[in-house]
Chains A and B, each alone.
Chain A
Amino acid sequence: MIALFYIAAIIAVIATVAVILQTNIVHGLLYLILSLLAVAVIFYVLGAPFAAVLEAIVYAGAIMVLFLFVIMMLNLGQHTRDQERSWLTPRGWIVPSLLAGVLLGQLVNVMSQIDHELIPEQVGVMEVSALLFGPYVLAVELASILLLAGLVAAYHLAKTK
């Protein structure tokens, strides 16, 4: 189990780095799906099977298919790939990497002072649903309103004049 956690973590980091280095959008999307599936495995190892299933179905399934449909509609060809190559100069990576590196260093410094062992125990669908439809029912309502607002906004924005 513990080996699975580290293997999935390494796959997730490599796939995520590959996402932001790609010039071809579809390749980047496929690497992102790989990264999300690796994170789903981590959720399962950490004892959250419901979150793992949702990550695979909603994130790696629904949201990525939405991306794929839009990329197909945009119909970006060789021209965009060449443009990407000319934009991605090594010099452009320096400052963002430095800034993110400073943030990473600070956060890792804070995180490594936490010294707890985590013993994964399964928190299944029943516990999560009992909380969702008990004390957190307002959060479910808010989520539904947010999704409705997203639906209306996406319909309005993507409409052809």
Chain B
Amino acid sequence: MESIPVEHGLILAVILFSIGLIGVLTRRNIVFVLMSLEIMLNAGGLAFIVAASRWGHAEGQIMFLIILTLAAAEVAVGLGLILQMFRRYKTVDINVLSEMKG
């Protein structure tokens, strides 16, 4: 079987992570912010799978499973918060939440 350079897999993970970071920093719609967080978590999981594949171990897949669980729990809580925010402010703009000025 042909071989893939391991740095290409890691660079792909880094590119996806950076795109997710741009999304988190730029978007004002809270649903898009949550989706960008998903992209970033998924990129982390991809890096773990690439490393596991490099060493031929199964431990990386277990870390991916834990990241998957974390993402599921995070999305459930985050979407609950979005529903509550939409009921209270009737918008998905995160800037309306800036009333708590320090």
Contacts and interface: CB of A to CB of B under 8 A. Distances in A.
| Chain A interface, >50% SS class | helix
Given A43-B49, A131-B58, A157 B81 contact: yes
B71 A63 contact: yes
B16 to A, nearest CB: 6
A128 B52 CA distance: 11
B34 to A, nearest CB: 8
From A17, A70, A88, name the one whose CB has the most chain B CB atoms within 10 angstroms: A70
A54 interface: yes
Interface in B1-35: 1-12, 14-23, 25-29, 31-32, 34-35
A161 B54 CA distance: 51
Interface in B40-67: 42, 45-46, 49-50, 52-54, 56-62, 64-66
B21 A103 contact: yes
A135 B29 CA distance: 42
Interface residues of B, number: 72
A114 B61 CA distance: 21
B18 A119 contact: no
A158 B80 contact: yes
Contacts of A74: 31, 82-83, 86, 92
A7 interface: no
A34 interface: no
Contacts of A153: 76-77, 80
A20 to B, nearest CB: 4
A121 to B, nearest CB: 6
Given A67-B31, A67-B75, A54 B68 contact: yes
A33 to B, nearest CB: 11
B31 to A, nearest CB: 6
Contacts of A47: 53
A127 to B, nearest CB: 4
Q: Sort A-B residue pairs by CB-CB distance and give the 10 closest, nearest first.
A: A150-B73, A157-B80, A96-B25, A20-B23, A154-B76, A158-B80, A117-B3, A46-B53, A143-B69, A154-B80
